[in-house]
Structures are given as structure tokens and as C-alpha cells.
Amino acid sequence: MRYWLLALNEDEYTEQQAYEVEAFEPASRPERVADGDEVALAGPEGVFALGEVDGPAIAYRRRLEEPAKTVETVQIHGSAGSAEDEVYGFAEGGAREGWTELNPDAWEDLVRTLPTPERRSDWLVTLSMPIEAVDKAEAVRQFWSYIRSLGPKELPTFVAPYGRELEGTSFLLGVEHEQDPEE
């Protein structure tokens, strides 16, 4: 078994954050990658998921609520920005994409630095939008057309712990988002 860190480009990362899927199929992979190998998936902000190679895909085993910067993700990213960017190695445009093989000790260190998984709990997720229509059926059709055309990149969703709806926050692409009408 081998251990890998796969750095995704911004578009692939955004796509993976937008939808709940069981697996990710990378465009290419090294010949040494084999079924059962473990993979940490990283975006510009750090590791966002752990998975296992299963045929041509990487089956998700765990997703993190917030991406986590690790020593390994810092090592694969260049730096050309502010002092903070140099510390973390996440300067804009400095990310290298692709596969990096990790030795078992580096893998253990990476996994150990990730936050402890939270217990599953119930959430109330809502999406409301005013729609002008002649009747209910037309309103529903227009609603689903808007959902399809706007998608998770443009359509905010409201999330609250079940039973505590007043604690709700707005999310866009799985990230908390301010809902200022001016933005």
C-alpha cells in the first residue's frame, strides 16, 4: 500500500466542494498508484478529504468541514505573496497540481494533524426564492430551472442545526457566506 497527496486545481476543488459524491476520478495518475492506496485530497486551502483508490477513482472515506493546512500541503505549494502566504505556502497561483507520494511516517503525521471527526447530527438545509408564476405547477418548474441554471456556485443555501433554526447561516459552495444584498 502506498500513500498519496493529490493537489487539485481550483476548478476541480470547487466542483468537489459543491456536490456530495462518493468518488472522484482524476484525469491522470502515476503508474504506481494501485487499488487500496490511501489518498489525501487537497485544494488551495489544504487537505479537504481522505480517500482510497478504487479502480480509476478515489472513493471518499472522510471529508473535513474546513480544509486543513498540513506540512505536506505547504511543501507542495510555492509562495510568491505576502508574509502569511510565505509561511503557509499558499500564494495565489502558486499551487502545484498533481500527485505526491508520501512515506508512511509522513502519512501518519498528516492524518494526525487533521481535526477529529465530529459526530453526525441533523441539519435543516433550506433554499427559498420568490418566483412569479401563473400557478403552483409553473412556479415549481421555474424553481427547478433556476436551481439547475444557477447551481451551488451562485445559489446560497441556509443551514441550521435541526431544532435551532435561528442559528442558521448562509453557505455558498459549502463555505459560510455573508448574505449582504450589496454583494
- What is the predicted pLDDT for the residue at 62? 93
DSSP 65: E
Q: Looking at the structure, do residues 89 and 152 belong to the same domain, yes or no? A: no
Dihedrals phi, psi of 22, to nearest 5 degrees: -85, -20
Q: Looking at the structure, do residues 65 and 139 belong to the same domain, yes or no? A: no
Q: Looking at the structure, do residues 142 and 81 belong to the same domain, yes or no? A: no
Average of per-residue pLDDT values in the chain: 82
Alpha carbons 165 and 170: distance in angstroms, whole number: 12
Stretch among 18-22, 32-36, 75-79, 110-114 having the lowest mean pLDDT: 75-79
pLDDT in tens, 100-141: 999 999 999 899 988 887 788 888 888 888 899 999 999 999
More confident residue, 117 or 22: 22
**94 pLDDT exceeds 50?**
no
Dihedrals phi, psi of 6, to nearest 5 degrees: -115, 110
The CATH number assigned to the domain holding 36 equals: 2.30.130.10
Give the domain extent around 145.
123-176
Q: Looking at the structure, do residues 88 and 131 belong to the same domain, yes or no? A: no
In a domain, 76, yes or no: yes
Q: Looking at the structure, do residues 35 and 86 belong to the same domain, yes or no? A: yes
Q: Looking at the structure, do residues 8 and 71 belong to the same domain, yes or no? A: yes
pLDDT in tens, 156-182: 888 888 888 888 888 887 778 876 555
Residue that finishes a domain, picked among 113, 140, 157: 113
In a domain, 181, yes or no: no
Stretch among 24-28, 73-77, 81-85, 141-145 having the lowest mean pLDDT: 81-85
Residue 43 in grid coordinates: 485544494
In a domain, 118, yes or no: no
Number of domains the chain contains: 2
Residue that finishes a domain, picked among 113, 139, 157: 113
Q: Looking at the structure, do residues 105 and 15 belong to the same domain, yes or no? A: yes
Q: Which of 82, 22, 18, 7 is nearest to 58 (CA)?
A: 22
**15 pLDDT exceeds 60?**
yes
Q: Looking at the structure, do residues 36 and 77 belong to the same domain, yes or no? A: yes
Contacts of 71 (CB under 8 A, 6+ apart): 106, 109, 110, 113
- What is the predicted pLDDT for the residue at 180? 59
In a domain, 182, yes or no: no
Q: Looking at the structure, do residues 66 and 147 belong to the same domain, yes or no? A: no
In a domain, 65, yes or no: yes
**33 pLDDT exceeds 90?**
yes
Alpha carbons 34 and 53: distance in angstroms, whole number: 7
Q: What is the pTM of this model?
A: 0.67
pLDDT band at 47 (very low <50, low <70, confident <90, very high): very high
